[in-house]
């Protein structure tokens, strides 16, 4: 069921990327009437403040690995921070986003593990998906921004219709974003060099554990996929 859902093309092998992923689905019934993660976010804020400062965070090996990857793909991580680092920096200031419980489960897991996590509405994409470099000219409709035309060589996640779902590993598309009506979710952890496979796998497991608290079931398996030949 999961094997082959996401293919990572050989062209990305020099960048050392890989993904860990699984799927989760709403089991039905009423959705929580009260926001379900307030206590969890409170615990997260205490954890983050006990573990990091703004100065020590940037020296964390996982943060450094994602920052190094950003430099490799031409992004200045001091201006556009890895999403996981940005979440922790907000937590250190006593703030944390509340978007909807499904998205927030991904953000909470990302802040705990420092691994960027993508959440995609499976009913709005055409399987299988492919992580590859852009050929140039692809249209990308990012959450929180205007429509863009991508240059050549950008790591992207596309579906079988070539719809751009994600610019790796930090920007998601409106087309596959999670909505209140979403019932099937693809959870993806973004792996880069110098981040252990098990760390990324554990981040995805953390997401589905949180989703389980709010009436979502999940596959028990998390698949890790590297570039194929």
Domains (ranges, CATH) in the chain? 6-32+100-225 (3.50.40.10)
Q: Is the pLDDT of residue 53 over 80?
A: yes
pLDDT band at residue 154 under the 50/70/90 scheme:
very high
Is residue 37 within 8 Å of 103, Cβ to Cβ?
no
Helices 83-92, 38-51: axis angle to 10 degrees equals 90
Is residue 129 within 8 Å of 141, Cβ to Cβ?
no
pLDDT band at residue 43 under the 50/70/90 scheme:
very high
Query: Hey, how many other C-beta atoms are within 10 angstroms of the C-beta on 78?
Result: 10
**pTM here?**
0.96
The residues near 91 (Cβ < 8 Å, ≥ 6 apart) are 44, 45, 48, 49, 111
- What is the average per-residue pLDDT within 44-65? 97
Q: Is the pLDDT of residue 57 over 60?
A: yes
- What is the average per-residue pLDDT within 194-199? 98
Q: Is the pLDDT of residue 106 over 60?
A: yes
Q: Is the pLDDT of residue 1 over 80?
A: no
**Residue 139 to residue 224: CA distance in whole angstroms:** 28
How distant, in Å, are the alpha carbons of 102, 133, 219 from that of 26? 10, 32, 12
pLDDT of residue 28: 85
pLDDT of residue 9: 96
The rounded mean pLDDT for the chain is: 96
**Residue 67 to residue 78: CA distance in whole angstroms:** 8
pLDDT of residue 33: 80
pLDDT, one tens digit per residue, over 12-35 is 999 999 999 999 999 987 777 899
């Amino acid at each position: 069921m999961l094997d082959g859902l996401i293919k990572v093309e050989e062209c990305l092998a020099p960048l050392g990327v890989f993904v860990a992923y699984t799927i989760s689905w709403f089991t039905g019934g009423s959705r929580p009437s009260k926001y379900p993660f307030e206590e969890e976010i409170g615990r997260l804020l205490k954890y983050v403040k006990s573990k990091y400062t703004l100065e020590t965070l940037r020296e964390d090996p996982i943060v450094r690995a994602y920052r190094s990857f950003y430099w490799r793909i031409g992004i200045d991580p001091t201006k556009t921070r890895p999403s996981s680092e940005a979440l922790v920096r907000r937590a250190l200031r006593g703030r944390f986003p509340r978007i909807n419980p499904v998205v927030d489960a991904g953000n909470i897991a990302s802040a705990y593990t420092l691994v960027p996590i993508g959440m995609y509405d499976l009913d709005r994409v055409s399987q299988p998906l492919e992580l590859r470099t852009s050929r140039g000219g692809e249209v990308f409709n990012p959450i929180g921004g205007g429509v863009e035309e991508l240059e050549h060589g950008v790591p992207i996640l596309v579906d079988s219709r070539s719809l751009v779902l994600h610019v790796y590993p930090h920007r998601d598309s409106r087309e596959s974003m999670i909505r209140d009506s979403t019932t099937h979710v693809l959870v993806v952890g973004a792996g880069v060099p110098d981040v252990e496979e098990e760390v990324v796998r554990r981040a995805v497991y953390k997401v589905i554990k949180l989703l389980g608290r709010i009436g979502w079931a999940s596959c028990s398996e998390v698949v890790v996929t590297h570039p194929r030949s």
